[in-house]
A and B are shown apart, each in its own frame.
Chain A
Amino acid sequence: MNVHEKLAILADAAKYDASCASSGSKSTRPGSRIGSTEGMGICHSYTPDGRCVSLLKILLTNYCIYDCQYCVNRITSDVPRARFSTDEVVRLTLEFYRRNYIEGLFLSSGIIQDANYTMEHLVAVARTLRVEHGYGGYIHLKTIPRASGELIAEAGRWADRISVNIELPTEHDLVQLAPEKKRSDIEQSMTDIKVRIDAQRDDRQAGFSAPPFAPAGQSTQMIVGATPTPDADILATAHHLYSRRKMRRVYYSAYSPIPHADARLPAQTPPLVREHRLYQADWLLRFYGFQLEELVTPAKPNLDLDVDPKLAWALHHREQFPVDVNRADREMLLRIPGLGVKTVDRIIVSRRHRTLRADDLRKLRVPWSRVQHFVATADHKPRSQLLECPQLVRKLHPKVSSRQLSLFAEA
């Protein structure tokens, strides 16, 4: 099989992993002869599915001894199989990199023989790139749960980011669909990585010149929509991972039908709107000071599909609006639907010098048609009854296409 054919198979097999970021490594490794990392990731292209192409995202091999039902590469799936040699991956990475197609490499693998054997091969690619070629670009390695501590240590040494996929939101989901994977193993690996990241940081702070360990931190991916688990559990798991395991990012990946899927899995269009809502909720929790219970409750464990979670919150708390942008504290400004963190900070700085008017907000490029219902300025006071109007929701959300919703409703 030539490299073309292998690439087609092993990129196809990797496409279900949503993580694409190439950000987080602030400085280029010293002594690099090709490649750099300067903190900000770059998307070099976009595919028609709207996803960013930043890294050469491939599997080392799609042979796998496991049988996770949601995965195309599981042992019982009859997709064509292939395996790259270390050298092939190294060459592809460097050649693509030189032409500025990519920011780096995201390497994952099906599990062959056992966790350590597989991990050794992943690590070998990273080591070869760094040591033999002086490659300083981005590397993201997927680690295999249950791989040995030494291998994780070496992976972190060469990679900018390492990740272990949590796979599914709950332990129960895992038992159902990935009987060979254990939540405890996965979380153990995450803890191992976190401990090493912390130790490295402590060493540096104490003035030792510790070798780098995954300077861009760790991330994970959760598949949503493969099981009936509600958003409340998904977000709770994410929250746990952010706070306890110090994830940089949790990726939500709408379960997408795969060739030769198990019949227990939904065969329809992936729940993209839901995926989007989860990302929005994730941001509200991390950067906007929202608490989980404000977004989902036992009585209503799923996020609204037709309204974004911030708007949904605002509509349930109409009594708190309109908010006076010239007076309200930052926390409350962040709760105004349509205002992002950057805009809020600009408002706060600007209002020290001037009293804000409606026109000023428009200049800050806020979506005025929506925001106007929730804010008060020197010259703008929305009639509060307007917020009571049942048509408001519809008016505020002309954009969610009914087609997308109905596709999801079939789910």
Chain B
Amino acid sequence: MLLVHDFDDWRRTARRQLRDGIPPEEVHFGSEEDHQPLLDLPAGPPGQNHEHVPPGMFPRVPAGFLETARSVACHSDRHRWDLLYRVLWRLTHGEPELLDVAIDDDVHRLHLMERAVSRDAHKAKAFVRFRRIEGDHGDEYVAWHRPDHRILKLVAPFFSRRFPEMRWSILTPDESVLWDGRSLHYGPGVPSSEAPEGDALEDLWRTYYGSIFNPARIKLKTMKREMPVRHWATLPETQVIPQLLEDAPGRVAAMHKATANQPRSAAEFLPDRKTLKTLAAAADHCKGCELYKDATQTVFGEGSKTARIVLVGEQPGDQEDLEGHPFVGPAGRVLDEALAEAGIDREDVYVTNAVKHFHWEPRGERRLHKKPPARAMSACRPWLEAEVAVLQPEVVVCLGATAAQSVVGREAKVTRDRGRIMRSALCRQTLMTWHPSAILRAPDATARERMRMELVNDLRTAFQAMSDGAGAGQLATSGSR
């Protein structure tokens, strides 16, 4: 029995044996520190070709072998040295391509061991958990880890590249390593009782672990396969697993309940047969979002059945909410005047809003207009879509940003895109302009007049875009006015 204690040692000894032409059957290697093997593999068959290598000749082996051998040397199986020597012998005695033959018993065993070691090394890189302690040299990071094989030498360089400026050590039952910021120092094994106590940060880590977990998809088997339970003792986050599992069904149930009680969209309230009349009647009972609760009534669109222009505002205001008709308040008056000035007949127009209920907040005695929430905007859209589908207008005019965003999209900017005819999902010719109430809120008379003129002009553009409008010829040249 030849005693070797690490890879380099084995390599030297093996080279000597090989030089002396000692076949694998006649030599046995062993290590003092070998305890009971994990998988006690039986000795394999002897190599097939026994050519003699003259003593003194340097054995040529494929490059891959040394690398594989270095890993396999870390395996805890006590037959590893013999196996390595047998493969080395065969490589140098007529089977130089042996390593390619994955189905050869020796090579197969070699691969199994190599894989086990590499997996163990990988798990060490993953599962080492440092704890910070106050040491003689300031902060020190210490981990206690229990690998299956002696992989510390394989992984320590990785940690030194990763944490070059930290002072750290990794303790295992068989060996230990310390990095002092400059070099690695290997030492003897350390029992788990000498592992440092917790680290305040572990609580935060457990919080993260618990929060990143999705209770609706439990896959315990996958977890245990990838994170074997034997490692759990040194992984602080595993302490919360039982609690997470216990809470999961309740959390999922609560989620389902919350979903079931959600208000739906207006789509469910649409009538089967769609005319302006049936739509308006159905909308009276809409509960597609929560706005109906605080409003007086639904304010549906109104206007000519044969309208070829649809004007879309934001939502009914205080007065509209009370009267039940769109654009009847002060803003409505501004709109009426502008339409008249643009030469547009009310007959050609249908007026409606992106959201059909008044959204407000109390300010003393008054109900103050509040921009409709995004949820209401999308919930209410089916009504507008249905109105447009029934009317098939030639032009849709969005009054103000909310309408523009609902019809054209969030990126719509009235200040930038005003007055241009563009295509939207609702209508081939869509145009946006000021909301009449924006004109009412203008900072001064000059601005007010300018915006008013722009509104009139934009309405004129819309009018001209109709196929037989006054300026039908310009219709196709979108953007020009």
Contacts and interface: CB of A to CB of B under 8 A. Distances in A.
A272 B409 CA distance: 33
Contacts of B132: 98-99
B212 A257 contact: no
A53 B164 contact: no
A92 B204 CA distance: 9
A350 B102 contact: yes
Contacts of B219: 48-51, 272
Contacts of A76: 373-375
B163 A52 contact: no
Contacts of A368: none
A210 interface: no
Contact of A15 (B104, B213, B223): B213
B374 A67 contact: yes
11 contacts: A8-B207, A32-B164, A47-B209, A48-B213, A50-B222, A52-B226, A76-B374, A98-B166, A99-B141, A263-B263, A270-B216
A98 B223 contact: no
B256 to A, nearest CB: 5
B259 A4 contact: no
Interface in A188-228: none
Given A7-B204, A7-B207, A349-B100, A16 B214 contact: yes
Contacts of A65: 374
B7 interface: no
Contacts of B217: 49-50, 254, 256, 269-270, 272
Interface string B89-120: 00000000100111111001000000000000
A34 B214 CA distance: 31
Contacts of A146: 411
Nearest to B211: A11
B165 A34 contact: yes
B218 A101 contact: no
B126 interface: yes
Contacts of B377: 67
Given A49-B217, A100-B129, A175 B425 contact: yes
A247 interface: no
B216 to A, nearest CB: 5
B201 interface: yes
B58 interface: no
Interface stretch (B79-87, B240-248, B456-464): B240-248
Contacts of A179: 378, 409-410
B65 interface: no
Contacts of A98: 130, 132, 141, 163, 166
Interface in B198-232: 199, 201, 203-205, 207-223, 226-227
A53 B212 contact: yes
Closest 8 CB pairs of A and B: A50-B219, A50-B222, A76-B375, A360-B103, A11-B211, A180-B410, A67-B374, A47-B213
B237 interface: yes
Contacts of A354: 101, 103-104
B428 interface: no
Interface in A353-411: 353-354, 356, 360-361, 363-364
Size category, B interface: 35 or more
A267 B256 CA distance: 6
B209 A95 contact: no
A70 to B, nearest CB: 12
Interface stretch (A37-45, A298-306, A327-335): A37-45
B221 to A, nearest CB: 8
B360 to A, nearest CB: 18
B55 to A, nearest CB: 29
A99 B131 contact: yes
B67 to A, nearest CB: 16
Contacts of B131: 99
B411 A50 contact: no
A11 to B, nearest CB: 4
Interface of B: 97, 100-105, 108, 122, 125-132, 141, 143, 158, 161-166, 199, 201, 203-205, 207-223, 226-227, 235, 237, 241, 244-245, 248, 252, 254-256, 258-260, 262-265, 373-375, 377-378, 409-411, 425
Contact of B212 (A14, A28, A256): A14
Nearest to B425: A175
Contacts of B256: 257, 267
B139 to A, nearest CB: 9
A303 B332 CA distance: 56
A259 B251 CA distance: 9
A317 interface: no
Contacts of A254: 217
A9 B213 CA distance: 12
A7 B165 CA distance: 27
A316 interface: no
B222 A263 contact: no
A75 B373 contact: yes
Contacts of A69: 378
B209 A257 contact: no
Interface in A85-106: 92, 95-96, 98-101
A35 interface: yes
A255 to B, nearest CB: 10
A262 B393 CA distance: 31
Given A48-B245, A99-B129, A43 B226 contact: yes
A182 B409 contact: yes
Nearest to B374: A67
A42 B97 contact: no
B205 A96 contact: yes
Nearest to B222: A50
A74 to B, nearest CB: 8
Contacts of B259: 257, 260-261, 263, 265, 267
Given A3-B204, A36-B161, A50-B220, A44 B375 contact: no
Contact of B223 (A9, A48, A265, A270): A48
Nearest to B260: A267
A387 B188 CA distance: 58
A57 interface: yes
Nearest to A77: B375
A217 to B, nearest CB: 22
Interface in A233-283: 254, 256-265, 267, 269-270, 272
A269 B252 CA distance: 9
Contacts of B221: 50
Contacts of A137: 162
A96 B130 CA distance: 10
Contacts of A66: 374, 410
Nearest to A16: B214
B130 A4 contact: no
B162 A33 contact: no
Given A33-B164, A260-B259, A272-B217, 12 more contacts: A3-B204, A4-B207, A7-B207, A45-B209, A92-B204, A100-B128, A100-B130, A259-B254, A262-B265, A263-B265, A354-B104, A364-B103
